């Protein structure tokens, strides 16, 4: 095969987290025979609030061969066992969506089915008592898995990371450039498209340089310069289900004792995030402009910080939804150019990761193939839609009626896919992960129970066990989890020992 028949010249337009995650993975997997170029402009800022992740980020970093402690030192990072949701179901109530296992299975049933029997009878504590990931964060405890302790919950601790997104992009930039990625500084002023094929042939930057390529990756954020403005791929608006359309973000001082979880606090017109890093706390307010003015939103955020703000607030406008196609012609949209889902469950960086990994699994060999493009778009659509449903659940399953936003969300219609999942759960507490959807059964359970959705009944197979045996089974899990958390170091001590960052 002649080299010219292959896709060899790759142009990534836009930097930030999306651009440099894409460049890093391509540099790792396409080390020979490919030219990878990234074009970005320092004049164009990035949103840069994607500082919380989910456990899948560890798979991405491991695939690159990154040392996690080195990465955390470079990005002022901390660890994350889950997300605490405050005031979502009703004011004064909170729960933790913890990563990882809940208890242990008994026979063919999950632990939660036995818990559900006891809970419906009024004789069981909250579901969060049965998982390390929900017991440890309030006690400020953390450790990595201890695989040598095979029969202990400590053998398998699921966790994610908090880090400074700008520093993460800079870390991946160094990684990428060391492996041959060429960075070009410049603002794109024109995009050339072939009149016959509709494919992008080149971009032109302000200096006058013309950059050609076989495959173009759009990492231009919400501008969607290539996929949207140039190729005209439409946008599917989901704001009827996810009505928040604004965010304001600001860093604040830290007390040096980071809690190992993200916190999400429901507010009258949206919700506030709190992400603890080593050198600061990341804060933001996501809200609906229909119910709250921008200046009032900024004032509300500044009035609810744990410490003094350390920079000026930054405002962001967005519309929840996705592109109708993420791969069109020879252009693939990655990151915010492909769609936006608010960071309620820390999925922004995961969606970048999923897009990049999916592209590499379907990477074109000899030009663009319709079957591969279709499969890519189908899988992206599935990802976005299932995450969308999970986010809608938080808003819709609420008893709050204290403000117009919550009154709207509580009574709005929801997608059929979510309606079907809820109907199945309400009958006998059954929930199943469909295909490769992101959130596992445990994640759905934490949010369903945390948001006050109780099934009418439990699985009938539970009654094959004696009630006293079920009580002992659950109490044993509680005791084991409690003992495990007692021996864990504090989150601050673990960071100090393994990955404390230097001063900026």
Pair (325, 230) in one structural domain: yes
Asked whether the predicted pLDDT for residue 161 surpasses 70, the reply is yes
Q: pLDDT tens digits, residue range 63-91?
A: 999 999 999 999 999 999 999 999 999 99
What is the residue-averaged pLDDT of the chain? Answer: 95
Question: Residue 231 CA to chain centroid, in angstroms?
Answer: 27
Q: Residue 435 has what pLDDT? A: 87
180: left (phi over 0), alpha (psi -120 to 50) or beta: left
Pair (371, 358) in one structural domain: yes
Give the chain's domain count: 3
Q: Residue 49 has what pLDDT? A: 56
In this structure, what DSSP letter does residue 95 have? Answer: E
Structural domain of 253? 249-317
Question: Residue 223 CA to chain centroid, in angstroms?
Answer: 21
Mean pLDDT of 391-397: 98
Whether 404 contacts 291, CB under 8 Å:
yes
Asked whether the predicted pLDDT for residue 369 surpasses 80, the reply is yes
Percent with pLDDT over 90 in the chain = 93
Pair (231, 324) in one structural domain: yes
Full strand arrangement of the beta sheet holding 188-193: 188-193, 200-205, 210-212
Q: Residue 151 has what pLDDT? A: 85
Pair (235, 268) in one structural domain: no
Q: Residue 1 has what pLDDT? A: 34
List the CATH number of the domain containing 28. 3.50.50.60
Separation between Cα atoms, residue 302 and residue 251, nearest integer Å: 10
Where does a domain end: 317, 349, 364? 317
> Is residue 407 assigned to a domain?
no
Band of residue 503 on the pLDDT scale cut at 50, 70, 90: confident
> Is residue 55 assigned to a domain?
yes
Where does a domain end: 384, 406, 432? 384
Percent with pLDDT over 70 in the chain = 97
Separation between Cα atoms, residue 50 and residue 163, nearest integer Å: 9
Mean pLDDT of 321-334: 98
Mean pLDDT of 412-434: 95
Pair (327, 313) in one structural domain: no
> Is residue 85 assigned to a domain?
no
Pair (198, 58) in one structural domain: yes
Asked whether the predicted pLDDT for residue 356 surpasses 90, the reply is yes
Whether 273 contacts 85, CB under 8 Å:
no
Pair (259, 215) in one structural domain: no
> Is residue 389 assigned to a domain?
no
Pair (374, 477) in one structural domain: no
Q: Which residues are catalytically annotated?
A: 80
Q: Residue 44 has what pLDDT? A: 64
Pair (151, 174) in one structural domain: no
Task: Match 């990465």 to its residue by tokens.
Answer: 71
> Is residue 380 assigned to a domain?
yes
Pair (300, 325) in one structural domain: no
Mean pLDDT of 475-501: 97
Q: pLDDT tens digits, residue range 96-123?
A: 999 999 999 999 999 999 999 999 999 9
> Is residue 393 assigned to a domain?
no
Q: pLDDT tens digits, residue range 188-224?
A: 999 999 999 999 999 999 999 999 999 999 999 999 9
> Is residue 504 assigned to a domain?
no
Band of residue 26 on the pLDDT scale cut at 50, 70, 90: very high
Pair (301, 330) in one structural domain: no
Q: pLDDT tens digits, residue range 437-484?
A: 999 999 999 999 999 999 999 999 999 999 999 999 999 999 999 999
> Is residue 438 assigned to a domain?
yes
Asked whether the predicted pLDDT for residue 48 surpasses 80, the reply is no
Q: Residue 2 has what pLDDT? A: 41
Where does a domain end: 384, 407, 429? 384
Pair (183, 289) in one structural domain: no
Band of residue 410 on the pLDDT scale cut at 50, 70, 90: very high
Query: How many other C-beta atoms are found inside a 10 Å radius of the C-beta of residue 9?
Result: 15
Please give the model's pTM, rounded to 2 decimal places: 0.96
Q: Residue 504 has what pLDDT? A: 61
Asked whether the predicted pLDDT for residue 275 surpasses 90, the reply is yes
């Amino acid at each position: 095969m002649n080299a010219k028949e292959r896709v060899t010249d790759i142009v990534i337009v836009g930097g930030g987290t999306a651009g440099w995650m894409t460049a890093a993975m391509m540099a790792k997997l396409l080390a020979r025979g490919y030219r990878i170029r990234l074009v970005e402009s320092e004049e164009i800022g990035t949103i840069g609030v994607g500082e919380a992740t989910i456990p899948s980020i560890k798979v991405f970093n491991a695939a690159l061969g990154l040392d996690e402690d080195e990465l955390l030192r470079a990005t002022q990072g901390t660890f994350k066992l889950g997300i605490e949701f405050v005031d979502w179901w009703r004011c004064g109530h909170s729960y933790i969506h913890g990563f990882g296992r809940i208890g242990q299975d008994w026979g063919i049933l999950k632990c939660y089915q036995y818990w559900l029997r006891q809970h419906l009878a009024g004789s069981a504590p909250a579901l969060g008592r049965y998982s390390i990931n929900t017991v440890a964060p309030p006690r400020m405890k953390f450790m990595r898995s201890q695989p040598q302790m095979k029969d202990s919950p400590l053998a398998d601790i699921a966790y994610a990371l908090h880090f400074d997104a700008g520093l993460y992009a800079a870390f991946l930039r160094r990684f990428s450039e060391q492996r041959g990625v060429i960075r070009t500084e410049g603002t794109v002023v024109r995009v050339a498209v072939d009149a016959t094929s509709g494919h992008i042939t080149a971009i032109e930057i302000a200096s006058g340089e013309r950059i050609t390529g076989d495959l173009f990756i759009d990492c231009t954020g919400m501008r969607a310069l290539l996929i949207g403005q140039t190729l005209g791929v439409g946008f599917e608006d989901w704001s009827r289900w996810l009505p928040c359309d604004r965010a304001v973000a600001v860093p604040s001082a830290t007390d040096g004792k980071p809690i190992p979880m993200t916190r999400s606090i429901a507010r009258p017109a949206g919700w506030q995030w709190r992400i603890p890093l080593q050198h600061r706390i990341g804060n933001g307010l996501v809200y609906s402009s229909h119910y709250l003015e921008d200046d009032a939103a900024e004032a509300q955020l500044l009035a609810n910080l744990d410490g003094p703000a350390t920079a000026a607030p930054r405002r962001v406008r967005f519309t929840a939804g996705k592109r109708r196609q993420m791969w069109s012609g020879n252009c693939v949209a990655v990151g915010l150019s492909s769609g936006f889902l608010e960071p309620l469950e820390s999925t922004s960086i995961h969606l970048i990761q999923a897009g990049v990994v999916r592209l590499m699994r379907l990477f074109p060999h000899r030009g663009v193939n319709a079957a591969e493009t279709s499969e890519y778009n189908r899988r992206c659509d599935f990802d976005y839609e299932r995450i969308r449903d999970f986010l809608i659940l938080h808003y819709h399953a609420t008893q709050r009626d204290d403000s117009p936003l919550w009154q709207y969300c509580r009574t709005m219609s929801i997608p059929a896919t979510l309606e079907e999942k809820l109907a199945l759960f309400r009958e006998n507490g059954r929930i199943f992960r469909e295909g490769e959807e992101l959130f596992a059964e445990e994640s759905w359970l934490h949010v369903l129970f945390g948001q006050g959705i109780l099934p009418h009944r439990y699985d009938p197979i539970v009654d094959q066990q004696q009630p006293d045996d079920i009580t002992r089974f659950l109490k044993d899990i509680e005791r084991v989890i409690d003992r495990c958390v007692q021996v864990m170091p504090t989150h601050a001590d673990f960071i100090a020992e393994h990955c404390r960052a230097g001063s900026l």
